[in-house]
Structure 1
Amino acid sequence: MSNKNYHPVTIRSMLSSTWYNKHLILKMTYREIISRYKGSMIGLAWSFFNPLLMLIVYTFVFSVVFKAKWGADLGGGRGEFAIILFAGMIIFNIFAECINRAPSLMIANTNYVKKIIFPLEIIPWVVLLNALFHALISFTILLLAQLLIIGYIPPTILALPFLLLPYAFCLIGVMWILAAAGVYLRDLGQLMSIATTVLMFTSPLFFPLSALPRSLQPYLSLNPLAYFIEEARELIIFGNVPSIGSLTISGILGMATLFVGYAFFQKTRKGFADVL
């Protein structure tokens, strides 16, 4: 089907497009991961060393220089804060990778938009899987560090996919909106870079929400990242499982965001080739 023709906006078409093109998505993801490190001396090994070096830096800066504490005794000594911070940063980095790249996705893939028949809606999935691949490596390093520093990994980590699935749905939905809007609003990329920085410092990365004055907690709880960062940390480190109610609500909101984003992308894509 040509990009200029009618594109259906239904849940069925959204799901079938992803399923039908799953092999193409995986192939493009693999190509993107490999191309990121193409030409470097150690290649893909950088995906392991980058988060490892960051964890070492976090451990030194926050446990030696700042001597920061989280307010919970996990028996990890100096490395305790670094592990807690690193867990939150993994969740945030998935968000930052996806959102910062989203506004320029169609512009960076003009050849797909103009010259060939191509399912443009799958490109955000490629970006998300690329971010999740690097997050998986970071999670592996985190768990190894947790064993060494704290001495245990809570079994609640097995529930992490139930938290990450609605998170992924939200990200894809937002990416579809930003990718489509970025074709028409070229300043959107700069705005999202600023927004990402603001969200980083207003997210519970360097502090728990409970450490803030009660008058401020409801406002910072409106940050869409706050829930996922706090609950991921609870699952991975503190051994606490989110309530079924909160998971259900996040799942519903994730699916709603996914479909709204898909509908917006499908409705606006017919003008991409004309603008690009």
Structure 2
Amino acid sequence: MNSLANLLFAPLTICCILRKNRTLTYGLIRREVFARYRGSVLGILWSFMNPLLMLGVYTFVFTVVFKAQWTQSGMRSEFVMILYAGLIVFNFFAECVNRAPSLIITNVNYVKKVVFPLEILPIVTLGAAAFQLAVNLAVWLAFYIVWFGIPSPTILCLPVVLLPLFTMTLGICWVLASLGVYLRDVSQIIGIAVTVLMYLSPVFYPLSSLPAEFRPFMFLSPLTLVVEQARGVMLWSTIPDWSAWWGYLIVSLLVASLGFAWFRHTKRGFSDVL
């Protein structure tokens, strides 16, 4: 009965913890972002340089080497924008999930502090990844304006489209952060799983290119719906399918609640293992 109550009230508990530790969380996110580029000449500007370099590489590989086309127009610039929109979503998810298994192991000093809320560590990772996502979006938007002009107003729906992904990713990170303490092989397994997921999600190809009988299975990936809807609001002026969005959000909230409950239950043994 206790476990069920904890699960039902998990979203409220998460909000309370985040509200109580909002200053600490913001400070850790800020430190995480700047720590990546500390000591480098360009510093935080590397956040912009990396996506620009990626954009150039993918443009060359897919449009020059493979001569790939996404739409009938065959425009190279359009292909780049479509591809990069999907990569923005995938890179956010991959960064969070790949780092999650080592979160507690690399912050052992926090485990020894009784008053430190370990639950916020996955939130810090999510926040740092969200910063990079925002930078990638800024780069995407700049190129879109140069090539095509002002995007459709439907792009304002993008934060709403991404909300379920943020929620689900957070729940997955809580589970992986806990498992990473007890099972050190989790990091290697997740690295392989994320690579496989990249090719089993419509990141490098349109969903319509698959045979009809395989398309429903693609939605088992947590990225398929959000990638499709993100591209829709960013490029094709389509409003999200709200019934699918609500279903995804409900599943995401359930995953987040289960992940949070699992983390709180298992964190009692962290200090013994570490």
TM-score of the superposed pair, with normalisation by structure 2: 0.94
Question: Matches of 2:113 and 2:252 in 1, distance apart?
Answer: 33
Residues 1:129 and 2:127 aligned together: yes
Deviations 1:77-133 (A, max 9, x none): 222111111000000000110000101111011000014520000000110010010
In the alignment, what sits opposite 2:21?
21
Q: Which amino acid aligns with 1:178?
A: L
Would the aligned equivalents of 1:63 and 1:79 in 2 still touch at CA under 8 Å? no
Structure 2 portions without partners, runs of 5+: 1-5
Deviations 1:48-79 (A, max 9, x none): 11101111222222222222110254xx8222
Would the aligned equivalents of 2:165 and 2:222 in 1 still touch at CA under 8 Å? no
Where 2:240 maps in the other structure, the secondary structure is: coil
Residues 1:249 and 2:240 aligned together: no
Where 1:120 maps in the other structure, the secondary structure is: coil
In the alignment, what sits opposite 2:220?
222
Question: Matches of 2:100 and 2:190 in 1, distance apart?
Answer: 9
Deviations 1:20-71 (A, max 9, x none): 1111111000001111001111100000111011112222222222221102
Question: Matches of 2:150 and 2:58 in 1, distance apart?
Answer: 20
In the alignment, what sits opposite 1:34?
34
In the alignment, what sits opposite 1:3?
none
Question: Matches of 1:60 and 1:152 in 2, distance apart?
Answer: 25
In the alignment, what sits opposite 1:47?
47
- Please, what is the CA RMSD of the aligned residues? 1.4
In the alignment, what sits opposite 2:108?
110
Query: Residue 208 of structure 1: CA displacement?
Result: 1.0
Fraction of identical pairs, as percent: 46
TM-score of the superposed pair, with normalisation by structure 1: 0.93
In the alignment, what sits opposite 1:58?
58
Where 1:109 maps in the other structure, the secondary structure is: helix
Deviations 1:225-250 (A, max 9, x none): 11111111111111111122112112
Structure 1 portions without partners, runs of 5+: 1-7
Would the aligned equivalents of 1:156 and 1:235 in 2 still touch at CA under 8 Å? yes
Q: Which amino acid aligns with 1:199?
A: L
Question: Matches of 2:261 and 2:182 in 1, distance apart?
Answer: 17
Residues 1:99 and 2:94 aligned together: no
Q: For 2:136, which of 138, 145, 149 is the aligned residue?
A: 138
Would the aligned equivalents of 1:106 and 1:179 in 2 still touch at CA under 8 Å? yes
Where 1:93 maps in the other structure, the secondary structure is: helix
Runs of 4+ in 1 over 6 A off after TM superposition: none
In the alignment, what sits opposite 2:3?
none
Query: Residue 150 of structure 1: CA displacement?
Result: 2.7
Q: Which amino acid aligns with 1:25?
A: T
CA change 1:132–1:258 in 2 (3 A) is same
Q: Which amino acid aligns with 2:178?
A: A
Q: For 2:196, which of 189, 195, 198 is the aligned residue?
A: 198
Would the aligned equivalents of 1:162 and 1:247 in 2 still touch at CA under 8 Å? no
Would the aligned equivalents of 1:94 and 1:135 in 2 still touch at CA under 8 Å? yes
Q: How many residues align?
A: 267
Would the aligned equivalents of 1:25 and 1:126 in 2 still touch at CA under 8 Å? yes
